[in-house]
Amino acid sequence: MHFGIFSNGFRPHTTAAQTYEEDLFEIILADKLGFRDFYISEHHGEPPYINRVDTIPTPELLMCKAASLTTQIRMGAAIKLIHMHHPLDVAIQSAVTEHLLGKGRFIFGFGTGFPSPLFCDERGITFDDRHARLQESLEFILKCWASDEIFDWEGEHWNAKGVVALPKPLSTPHMPMLTATDTEAVIKLSAERGYALLSAFLEDADYVRKKADRYINYAADVGVMGARQNIITSRVVYVADSYEEAIEDMRAAVTYEISVQAERGFLKVIKKLLNLDIPNDETGIEALAESGFYLLGKPDRIAEQIKDFYDASGGFGTFLIVGGKDWATREKRARSMTRFMGEVAPQLRHLEPPLGSSEE
């Protein structure tokens, strides 16, 4: 099993500069500790965030700065909202990012993200056809990377004349790819093409298993075995001397985040998808921990919970712990990351997901 960070950024408002410095601290530490991957959410501004939460809407810029401060960690967006940006610009920006990070260190993550019409409305594009637009955007981007010829694009959602997409990716035919999606057509094409599949930390084991099984079967249909290695899962993990210490270290920050997420309507989404009630008060953290989405406390207990999640979900190749939060202090967050890699990860590295389709 490989390990990484899912920087699902949510730091209370100070300045964006200060927030990015905290993110950079975590990337640099993760690199030193031996985490393989660091994924950064593309979070755009929303009304509940004004003067309350700092966001990173262009994670590639943060990656480029982090590349000069690290030596080996791989980085990618989780995920780039490619249905909102012109495909030519996405193709160019991503190619430049890969050149600046170096071969093998940039992963192109794509998806449609949180289902809010706001982001589309701001840009004068439609929300209801975002999934179809994403699929067309992806094909446009891939043509930008593959074609040395000037071309026109006449699609249902995008049109372009005389496209010259430079530079091309550093890798051939392109950098590794990843998606986070529930759209069946995108799960299928990702499996067939070998794009990794990321599951968010608020997806239970049964949900992950069912989606992963479909992905693996689509891969097997085209002769690709071992696709379960491409499944990436995540959980909030905080290592401490006790469960009670972890709860109290995190309570204030989690309560604050829950209050903002309630205004976004995110708690209703969780209720609808998972039938999970998260109280909008200081007891919310207990509900999240008891549900298994937050794994807190001693290293052995956390390792056992991850192993249980691994078995219940059918296995996966990479496990991400959630970062980008202002839990407790910087020093305590660093201590949690350090103890995870020193005391939890060694108990799990030997795990290797099964080969073949889910029907075998």
Specify the amino acid at residue 273: L
Can you tell me the distance from the alpha carbon of 92 to that of 135, in angstroms, rounded to the nearest whole number?
18
The tens digit of pLDDT for each residue in 52-82 reads 999 999 999 999 999 999 999 999 999 999 9
Residue 119 belongs to a domain: yes
> Domain count of the chain?
1
Residue 343 belongs to a domain: yes
Can you tell me the distance from the alpha carbon of 360 to that of 354, in angstroms, rounded to the nearest whole number?
10
Q: Specify the pLDDT at position 354.
A: 80
- Domain CATH for 18: 3.20.20.30
Can you tell me the distance from the alpha carbon of 91 to that of 98, in angstroms, rounded to the nearest whole number?
11
Q: Specify the pLDDT at position 115.
A: 86
Task: Using pLDDT thresholds of 50, 70 and 90, give the confidence band for residue 272.
Answer: confident
Residue 92 belongs to a domain: yes
Q: Specify the pLDDT at position 325.
A: 96
The pTM of the full predicted model, rounded to 2 decimals, is 0.95
Residue 263 belongs to a domain: no
The tens digit of pLDDT for each residue in 127-186 reads 999 999 999 999 999 999 999 999 999 999 999 999 999 999 999 999 999 999 999 999
Closest CA to 43 of 7, 5, 75: 7
The tens digit of pLDDT for each residue in 198-210 reads 998 989 999 999 9
Contact assessment for residue 16 and residue 59, using Cβ atoms and an 8 Å cutoff: no
Residue 326 belongs to a domain: yes
Residue range of the domain that includes 231 = 2-244+294-347
The residues, any chain, with a CB within 8 Å of residue 106's CB and separated by 6 or more, are 63, 74, 75, 76, 94, 97, 98, 175
Q: Specify the pLDDT at position 352.
A: 93
Residue 174 belongs to a domain: yes
Residue 207 belongs to a domain: yes
Q: Specify the pLDDT at position 275.
A: 84
Q: Is the pLDDT of residue 236 over 70?
A: yes
The tens digit of pLDDT for each residue in 301-356 reads 999 999 999 999 999 999 999 999 999 999 999 999 999 999 999 999 999 988 76
Q: Is the pLDDT of residue 193 over 90?
A: yes
The tens digit of pLDDT for each residue in 76-131 reads 999 999 999 999 999 999 999 999 999 999 999 999 998 889 999 999 999 999 99
Residue 357 belongs to a domain: no
Beta bridge pairs of residue 11: 54
- State the Cα angle at 39 between 216 and 73, rounded to 5°: 105
Can you tell me the distance from the alpha carbon of 308 to that of 286, in angstroms, rounded to the nearest whole number?
19
Q: Specify the pLDDT at position 266.
A: 86
Region of residue 104 (left: phi > 0; alpha: psi -120 to 50; beta: else): left
| Region 12-34 average pLDDT | 97
Burial call 219-258: b when 16+ CB within 10 Å, e when fewer: bbeeebeebbbbbbbbbbbbbbeebebbbebbbebbbbbb
Sign of the torsion formed by the C-alpha atoms of 76, 193, 312 and 131: positive
| Region 188-201 average pLDDT | 96
Can you tell me the distance from the alpha carbon of 4 to that of 233, in angstroms, rounded to the nearest whole number?
10
Can you tell me the distance from the alpha carbon of 310 to that of 47, in angstroms, rounded to the nearest whole number?
37
Question: Tokens representing 135?
Answer: 């699929």
